[in-house]
C-alpha cells in the first residue's frame, strides 16, 4: 500500500491504490483462472446432478439429495458466472461475456431482462435514487398491506423461485414500455420451453418413482433456490441522496462516502465466502468497482478499509452469520398480517 498523500482526496487515493493493484495483476480487472475453474465445476456439477436425478435415482433420499444440489446450482451459477458478465467484467472479449450471460438461461431465468433491470438499478443508485436497488428490480417480496385480512406474502415466499422462473420474465417483457428486439423474445420462449421440458416434463417421464416423490423433490429444489436467493438479496443495499458524478462529470466524493456510510460488506476477509457468493457479500466493493470481476473483491475490500482508516472514514462490515438474522426477521415480518 503506497504512503498516504493528504494532498489528494479520499476518492483519488482509493482509485489510485486500486489501479496500482490492477496493474500488478496479469488479468487486470478481469477474471482469473480460478473464476473459469469454479464456473466450469459449477456447470459440470449442475449437469451431472441433473443427469443422475433424471436417470439414476432409485430412492426418495437420492431424489432429495439431487434436488438440493440442483437448487444450490440454480443460484450459484448465475451469481458466480453471469452477474460479472452483465458488467462486462469476465473478459475484455465481449463474446466471452455474452456467452457467460447464458448462465441465466441455463437455470431458468432470462439474461436480457435480468441484465436490463440490474443495470437500471446501478444507474439509479449512481444518480441518487432513493429506491433500494433490490426493490427497483422487483427481486424481493414487498411488505404486506396492513389493510388485508389475510396475508399471503409468506405463502408467496414458499413459491417465490417458481414465480421468478416461470412468471416474472414474461410479466416484465409484457409490461416493458420499450421496444424489445425480436431475437430476445425468441430466446425467452426457446429457453423457457427447454427449461420447462427439463424440469416439468422429463422428471415424470424418466424417473422411476411415485409422482408424489417427484413433486416433493421438485418443490424442495425450488425451496432451496428461494432460501439461498433471498439470503443473498437481503444483504443490504441502501438508498442514496447524491449522484456518483458532479456537474463536471468527475467522481463525487459525497456519493462514495454515502456508499461507505450506508452499505455493508459481509466478512470481507473471507476468500472462500467470496468465491461461493460470487462477491454478493461485498456490496460496498461492488458499487465502488462495478466493472471489476468478483475474484478481486477481497483485495479491494482491504484497500477500501485501509484507505478509509487513513482518511478517518467509516467502513461498515459485519459477519456473514448476521445475514441469517436478517433473513429470519424478514420472514417474521412478511408472515404477520397485522403489521
Examine the domain organization and report whether 5 and 108 are in the same domain: no
Residue 300 in any domain: the answer is yes
Domain-ending residue, one of 230, 262, 287 = 230
Q: Which domain holds residue 175?
A: 31-115+151-230
Residue 268 in any domain: the answer is yes
For 142-195, the pLDDT digits (tens) are 544 444 434 556 677 788 899 999 999 999 999 988 899 999 999 999 999 999
Residue 284 in any domain: the answer is yes
Examine the domain organization and report whether 306 and 271 are in the same domain: yes
Q: Please give the tally of structural domains in the chain.
A: 2
Examine the domain organization and report whether 14 and 93 are in the same domain: no
Examine the domain organization and report whether 82 and 165 are in the same domain: yes
Examine the domain organization and report whether 177 and 69 are in the same domain: yes
CA distance 121 to 119: 5
Give 199 or 244, the one with higher predicted confidence.
199
CA distance 91 to 279: 17
Distances (CA, A) of 294 to 34, 40, 80, 81, 299: 11, 16, 8, 10, 10
Residue 246 in any domain: the answer is no
Residue 41 in any domain: the answer is yes
What's the confidence (pLDDT) of residue 339? 39
Examine the domain organization and report whether 191 and 308 are in the same domain: no
Examine the domain organization and report whether 198 and 74 are in the same domain: yes
Domain-ending residue, one of 230, 259, 284 = 230
What's the confidence (pLDDT) of residue 320? 72
Examine the domain organization and report whether 215 and 68 are in the same domain: yes
Examine the domain organization and report whether 62 and 200 are in the same domain: yes
DSSP string of 72-88, one letter each residue: HHHHHHIIIIIHHHHTT
Average pLDDT, the chain: 85
- pLDDT tier, 319 (very low <50, low <70, confident <90, very high otherwise): confident
Give 201 or 231, the one with higher predicted confidence.
201
Examine the domain organization and report whether 170 and 285 are in the same domain: no
Beta partners for 215? none
CA distance 80 to 72: 12
Give 8's contacts (C-beta < 8 A, 6+ positions apart).
Answer: 16
Examine the domain organization and report whether 111 and 188 are in the same domain: yes
Residue (of 214, 198, 231, 207) closest to 106 by Cα position: 198
Examine the domain organization and report whether 220 and 180 are in the same domain: yes
Domain-ending residue, one of 196, 230, 264 = 230
CB 278 within 8 A of CB 228: no
- pLDDT tier, 223 (very low <50, low <70, confident <90, very high otherwise): very high
For 232-275, the pLDDT digits (tens) are 876 655 544 444 555 555 567 788 888 888 888 888 999 998 99
Residue (of 319, 144, 157) closest to 225 by Cα position: 157
Amino acid at each position: 500500500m503506497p504512503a498516504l498523500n493528504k494532498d489528494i482526496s479520499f476518492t483519488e487515493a482509493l482509485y489510485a491504490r486500486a489501479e496500482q493493484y490492477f496493474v500488478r495483476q496479469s488479468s487486470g480487472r478481469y477474471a482469473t483462472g480460478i473464476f473459469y475453474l469454479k464456473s466450469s465445476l459449477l456447470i459440470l456439477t449442475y449437469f451431472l446432478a441433473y443427469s443422475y436425478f433424471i436417470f439414476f435415482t432409485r430412492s426418495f433420499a437420492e431424489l432429495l439429495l439431487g434436488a438440493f444440489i440442483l437448487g444450490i446450482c440454480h443460484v450459484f451459477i448465475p451469481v458466480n458466472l453471469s452477474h460479472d458478465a452483465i458488467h462486462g467484467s469476465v473478459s475484455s472479449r465481449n463474446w466471452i461475456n455474452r456467452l457467460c450471460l447464458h448462465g441465466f438461461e441455463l437455470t431458468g431465468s432470462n439474461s436480457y431482462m435480468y441484465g436490463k433491470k440490474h443495470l437500471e438499478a446501478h444507474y439509479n443508485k449512481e444518480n441518487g435514487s432513493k429506491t433500494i436497488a433490490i426493490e427497483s428490480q422487483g427481486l424481493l417480496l414487498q411488505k404486506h398491506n396492513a389493510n388485508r385480512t389475510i396475508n399471503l406474502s409468506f405463502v408467496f415466499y414458499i413459491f417465490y423461485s417458481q414465480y421468478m422462473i416461470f412468471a416474472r420474465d414474461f410479466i416484465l417483457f409484457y409490461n416493458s414500455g420499450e421496444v424489445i428486439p425480436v431475437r430476445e423474445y425468441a430466446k425467452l420462449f426457446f429457453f423457457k420451453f427447454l427449461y420447462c421440458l427439463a424440469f416439468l416434463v422429463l422428471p415424470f417421464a424418466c424417473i422411476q418413482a411415485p409422482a408424489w416423490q417427484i413433486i416433493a423433490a421438485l418443490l424442495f429444489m425450488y425451496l432451496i433456490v428461494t432460501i439461498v436467493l433471498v439470503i443473498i438479496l437481503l444483504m443490504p443495499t441502501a438508498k442514496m441522496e447524491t449522484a456518483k458524478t458532479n456537474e463536471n462529470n468527475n467522481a463525487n466524493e459525497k456519493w462514495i462516502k454515502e456508499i461507505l456510510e450506508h452499505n455493508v460488506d459481509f466478512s470481507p476477509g473471507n476468500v472462500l465466502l467470496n468465491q461461493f457468493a460470487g462477491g454478493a457479500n461485498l456490496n460496498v466493493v461492488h458499487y465502488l468497482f462495478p466493472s471489476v470481476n468478483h475474484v478481486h473483491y477481497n483485495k479491494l475490500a482491504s484497500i477500501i478499509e485501509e484507505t478509509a482508516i487513513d482518511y478517518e472514514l467509516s467502513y461498515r462490515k459485519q459477519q456473514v452469520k448476521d445475514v441469517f438474522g436478517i433473513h429470519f426477521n424478514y420472514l417474521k415480518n412478511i408472515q404477520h398480517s397485522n403489521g
